[in-house]
Amino acid sequence: MAPSAPCWRSSPGCTCPPSSCSPVRSGRRATPPSWRRSSRNSASRNSPGIWNGSGRNRLNLPIPNSRRFSLLLALLSALVVASCARAGTVATVVSSATAPPGAGVGALGALPNLRETVAHVSPAVVAVDVNVTSLDFFLRPVEQVAAGSGVIIRPDGYVVTNDHVIAGASSIHVALTDRRVFEARVVGRDSRSDLAVLKIDETDLPYLTFASKDAVDVGDWVLALGNALGLEGGPTVTFGIISALGRTVRTAAGLTLTDLMQTDAAINEGNSGGPLVNLRGDIVGINTTILAEAQGIGFAINSDTVTRFTNDLIEFGRVRRPLIGLQGRTLNPAVAEQFQLKVGSGVLVTGVADGPADSAGIKPRDVILRFGGAAVTSWDQFLGLLWARRPGEKVTLEVLRGAENLQIVVTLAERPPEGG
């Protein structure tokens, strides 16, 4: 088994214990081995064939002069034919390799110009600098500086970023690509979705619009932009594809994020809060987290979630979430066997509180198969479908109760604010 790539101690964000970290790579290219000089390619006395001017065949017998010219001519003709055949084969292979079906020059030539996309997007990407006051071992206040990213979504100065970027901030400043710096105030933040909206006092700012989540699919090319590692000189741009949709991730802080987009576009420390855009320059997600133990696996909050939640944060200062009033767990074959259920996937209702689900007739041990027409496969996915709705909406649940399939309509209530 091939050894895994080393985690170089010089790499930012290395979390390996010092004893397991590889030494710092010097960057020098390895000196290639000295190649031995090969022996002269002189004809071997034991090699078969005709020696130049020898007048003898493979058996070292004399060849009559009358046949010598004919044999030489035949040999030359064979060499010419072989050379032509070889040249034709090489040309065919090169042609096939450079233009395979579905990936020819025409297909590549139809792609948008990445320079134009980057030029359009970059001015709306901002660096978010945060001052955080904490206490040291002796309970003395210590000022620390953290850096993240954001994106302007309205020309009058509204900026979207991650909640964890500004958590605990005593002051926040937003730096534009034209080197202007503004003090920012928090309009609203939502730790559950890891989203926050900032406001700077400026107008006529460059901004980006959102693409619909339904317009994004696995394999689409995307660019991730942000203040990677706090480097000066403008946002860092990386390029990749949408690797998967509908991911559920639990962060190191214990936060569960649902319905995320997965991408292999590099997302580094400082990229949090920056946009993930399609090749037209529209926002498809907000970069939020990576898997520290893997490479090429980053996650972004999908555009539909960002749009709805930021609109709530701007209008109400908080996200208005729906309440259904039930508890459940993911139903898998093992759980189905334990509860003697005749279905192997969905959500098993484990408890019903006084609220919309109870009023609609949902009961414990019901199995929710579909939510508003969408198949339910897990509890986390069910919550993602629920949180995509608004308070007051009616949603139809397909429920299995014993051997009976039921269609139950639930009117969603509003979840009380956190801490209220």
User: What does the pLDDT profile of the chain (420 residues) look like in tens digits?
Assistant: 444 444 433 444 444 444 444 333 333 333 333 333 333 333 333 333 333 333 334 444 444 554 555 555 555 555 444 444 444 433 333 333 333 333 333 444 556 678 999 999 999 999 999 998 888 888 888 888 888 999 999 999 999 999 999 998 999 999 999 999 999 999 999 999 999 999 999 999 999 999 999 999 999 999 999 998 878 778 999 999 999 998 988 877 778 888 999 999 998 888 899 999 999 999 999 999 888 777 889 999 999 999 999 999 999 999 999 999 999 999 988 888 888 888 888 999 999 999 999 999 999 999 999 999 999 999 988 998 998 899 999 999 999 998 899 999 999 999 988 753
Residue 92: CB atoms within 10 Å: 10
Q: What is the pLDDT of residue 337?
A: 84
Quick check: 209 and 283 in contact, CB under 8 A? yes
Residue 279 and residue 217 in one domain: yes
Spatial distance between the Cα atoms of 196 and 132, rounded to a whole number of angstroms: 17
In a domain, 330, yes or no: yes
Residue 370 and residue 346 in one domain: yes
Residue 266 and residue 326 in one domain: no
Residue 146: CB atoms within 10 Å: 18
Q: What are phi and psi of 385, to 5 degrees?
A: -65, -40
Which of 177, 175, 173, 182 is CA-nearest to residue 202?
182
pTM attached to this predicted model: 0.68
Which of 212, 164, 171, 208 is CA-nearest to residue 190?
164
Residue indicated by tokens 């600098």: 129
H or E element that contains 19: none
In a domain, 112, yes or no: no
Residue 228 and residue 299 in one domain: yes
% helix / strand / coil in the chain, to the nearest 5? 20, 35, 45
Q: What is residue 204's DSSP assignment?
A: S
Quick check: 247 and 302 in contact, CB under 8 A? no
Quick check: 331 and 380 in contact, CB under 8 A? no
Which of 206, 117, 198 is CA-nearest to residue 154?
206
Q: What is the pLDDT of residue 104?
A: 38
- Amino acid at site 232: E
Spatial distance between the Cα atoms of 23 and 33, rounded to a whole number of angstroms: 23
255 three-state secondary structure: coil
Residue 232 and residue 265 in one domain: yes
Q: What is the pLDDT of residue 408?
A: 96
Spatial distance between the Cα atoms of 146 and 378, rounded to a whole number of angstroms: 36
Residue 133 and residue 223 in one domain: no
CATH of the domain at 290: 2.40.10.10
Residue 217 and residue 310 in one domain: yes
Last residue of a domain, one of 316, 335, 353: 316
Quick check: 313 and 195 in contact, CB under 8 A? yes
Last residue of a domain, one of 141, 168, 199: 199
- Amino acid at site 409: V
Residue indicated by tokens 């027409």: 373
Residue 221 and residue 190 in one domain: no
Q: What is the pLDDT of residue 233?
A: 77
Q: Could you tell me the residue range of the domain that residue 246 belongs to?
A: 213-316
Spatial distance between the Cα atoms of 309 and 45, rounded to a whole number of angstroms: 85
In a domain, 193, yes or no: yes
Please identify every residue annotated as catalytic. 164, 194, 272
In a domain, 26, yes or no: no
Last residue of a domain, one of 146, 176, 199: 199
Output the CA torsion 91→96→98→101 (10° steps): 160
Spatial distance between the Cα atoms of 288 and 285, rounded to a whole number of angstroms: 9
Q: What is the pLDDT of residue 203?
A: 94
Residue 334 and residue 306 in one domain: no
CATH of the domain at 340: 2.30.42.10
Tally the domains of the chain.
3
Spatial distance between the Cα atoms of 303 and 364, rounded to a whole number of angstroms: 34
In a domain, 402, yes or no: yes
Spatial distance between the Cα atoms of 119 and 148, rounded to a whole number of angstroms: 21
Q: What is the pLDDT of residue 51?
A: 36
Burial class (CB in 10 A: 0-12, 13-18, 19+), 148: buried
Quick check: 149 and 227 in contact, CB under 8 A? yes
In a domain, 27, yes or no: no
